[in-house]
Amino acid sequence: MSNEGESDLITPRKLWQHPNPQSTRMWKFIQKCNATYGLSLGDFHDTYEWSTGLRRNDFWTALWDEVNLIHEGSYVEPVDDSVRMDSIPRWFDGIKLNFAENILFNRGSRPGDLFTDNGKTDTKIAITEVREGMSEVHNYTWADIRRSVGLLSNAMRAHGVKKGDRVAAVGSNSKDTLCTFLATTAVGGIFSSSSTDMGTNGILERLRQIEPIYIFIDDFAVYNGKTTALRSKIQGIIEGLKDKSNLKGIVIQPRFSQPADIQSLPRTLTLEEFVGAARGNVDLQFERVPFNDPLLIVYSSGTTGAPKCIVHSVGGVLINAVKESALHRSMGPESVQLQYTTNKVVPRKLVDLSSLKHVVSTGMVLSDQLFEWFYDTGFPQTAQLANISGGTDIAGCFGMENPLNPVYVGGCQGPSLGTAIAVFEERRQTDGSPQIVRLEDGVPGELVATKSFPNQPAFFWGENGSQRYFDSYFSRFDNTWSQNDFIMIHPVTKQIFFLGRADGVLNPSGVRFGSAEIYNVLEQHIPEVQDSICVGQRRKQDDDESVLLFLLMAPGQKFTAALIGKVKQIISRELSKRHVPKYIFETPEIPMTINGKKVELPVKQVVSGFKIKPSSTLTNPGCLAYYAEFAEDEKLSTASLERARL
């Protein structure tokens, strides 16, 4: 993919198109908006421009009416556009609602009515819990979930949990963790969670900042076929929080029919003991709170230092989630939505997927090869591949699918309605002063949002939260949200290509490109390489940035001078000579986060000579010591390079 602009870009291969776009909810929504506001919106991009333009409050009003959330109160306008984005404008001021209430019920035709139709009838399956390896599969109906949430939320009230209190979970993706989340939000509390495979110190870094009143922890974890008792981790958490007097207790959630023995652990009680305080009361009550009240604390995926505690609002998370599911995906009883990990298995040969309508992929943006594998080999050609990308920090998406545009190879179909994105670049003028340039489609640059959106974080938890919030998102471009993603918008298809993280953008001799471009070439053409990490190096003594590529060899494959030559030749051929890394080394290990993402920034920092404190989100922080050696001139010298090659 060229960086030179529209003339060098080809239109990617079209893989899917909706057979009847006029039947979708998005199309019907557009027609309703045309009639209400005297518009002539003809397609998705017309609608997107309207939803982010001067009359965007009309869009948000129409959306509010469309999604029909359970609430009380009223608002004057969705948002005051005269308020600066970096001051975090209030959305739908005057509205009160509850997150759990809207998850567990649908709104009726009259105020105050709660209907359970549209897939939420008592006997309808709400969630399916599958243990690793398909060893256990449990279906839970809406009645099951409502009963569990009712019992747990009433137990929380009996134990003194109230509006604004933090409740944390250290748990698996399970029915129990979901019910803890919903019960916490039902009483007006603030929920936060960590994975059981995170280290004890990493969990404590989070918990000590938010000071929860109760912590719910699984007693066992299952990973890669192995069951691990979490007793020692629970002990470490108890010890690490012994000075926190506000912590009332730690509730142990059983992952198997036989729970762990916790009698000797202080400040703990079983889930059964905890819910006993409800005395069997399963009646649901919901604390409705202002739209902008805090709901959820998540953590930055930063790779150095303590994690930032990002607080999301009740309404922001809710309306964004409902908007995306209602308008972008035409979900119905005949539709199935799943997240998957792609490998050599061919799902359409294993099971009947004729009713499958959507497959959602997120986390890492899919490579071009996986787009083609999806339609040519893996899944039915009638299913829509929804390759989406956003961030924990916005609890939503910047790039996502829609039912009106075709799916082309690569990237995301387009932007999320109502979120005004653009591509910026900072340049230096002749006098050395910075100049911010909005780039045209077809030119890669930094992803930004130019107007406020309802799922902006409410605030950062803790000391100097406002300043840390500003520094994280608004210090780079005036009154503009910077997401730190390096993207390009195709000038014809309008799909969004995510090329890498902006903080890891490669910039040798002023030529900017994303590491993802290198990874895509290696994945497609170099089977000898299992994985790789590509970073820029600029030390104090360097006049320019050098690109370093580290290769993790596949089992049984050797790192040789011939392989280096092959890698350089193919990168030059597939991209350009300017993309060829200056140095190529072998690596024994690539730093990864606990959720399986490789991280470039700490490698970039250590090869540039910086001393860093690895974040607890890294599963293998010790591997950074290997990369630190490459900050030395001797390691980069020709003799050392030749030895490394051979």
Rounded CA gap, 196 and 230, in Å? Answer: 8
Q: Give the pLDDT band (50/70/90) at residue 502.
A: confident
For residues 361 and 388, is the Cβ–Cβ distance under 8 A?
yes
Cβ burial of 66 (10 Å; 0-12, 13-18, 19+) is middle
More confident of the two residues 504 and 590:
590
Q: Which pLDDT score is estimated for 336?
A: 41
**Strands 190-194 and 166-170: what pairing?**
parallel
What stretches of 330-412 show up as alpha helix (H) in DSSP? Answer: 347-350, 368-373
Rounded CA gap, 576 and 316, in Å? Answer: 43
Say how many C-beta atoms besides its own lie within 10 A of residue 417's C-beta: 22
Lowest mean pLDDT among 279-288, 330-339, 529-538: 330-339
Section 503-517 average pLDDT: 82
User: What rounded mean pLDDT belongs to the chain?
Assistant: 89
Section 549-555 average pLDDT: 97
Q: Which pLDDT score is estimated for 365?
A: 75
Q: Which pLDDT score is estimated for 341?
A: 43
Helices and strands (H and E) in the chain: how many? 19, 32
CB within 8 Å of 329: residues ≥ 6 apart:
335, 337, 358, 386, 401, 403
The two tokens of residue 249 are: 């207790």
Q: Which pLDDT score is estimated for 7?
A: 44
pLDDT tens-digit readout, 95-121? 999 999 999 998 874 445 655 556 688
Q: Which pLDDT score is estimated for 364?
A: 65
For residues 218 and 172, is the Cβ–Cβ distance under 8 A?
yes
Cα 236 to chain centroid, rounded: 29
Q: Is the pLDDT of residue 533 over 90?
A: yes
Q: Which pLDDT score is estimated for 301?
A: 56
More confident of the two residues 326 and 548:
548
Beta partners for residue 252, in sequence order: 217, 270
Q: Is the pLDDT of residue 342 over 50?
A: no
Tell me the domains of the chain and their CATH numbers: 6-98+308-497 (2.30.38.10), 114-287 (3.40.50.980), 506-645 (3.30.300.30)
Q: Is the pLDDT of residue 343 over 60?
A: no
Q: Which pLDDT score is estimated for 345?
A: 67
The two tokens of residue 392 are: 């924990």
Phi, psi of 532 (to 5 degrees): -155, 165
Rounded CA gap, 244 and 295, in Å? Answer: 22
Rounded CA gap, 16 and 643, in Å? Answer: 49
Q: Which pLDDT score is estimated for 596?
A: 80
The two tokens of residue 50 are: 């309207």
pLDDT tens-digit readout, 425-470? 888 777 878 889 999 999 989 999 999 999 999 999 999 999 999 9
Section 318-338 average pLDDT: 65
Q: Which pLDDT score is estimated for 206?
A: 93
The CA-to-CA distance between both ends of the chain, in Å, stands at 32
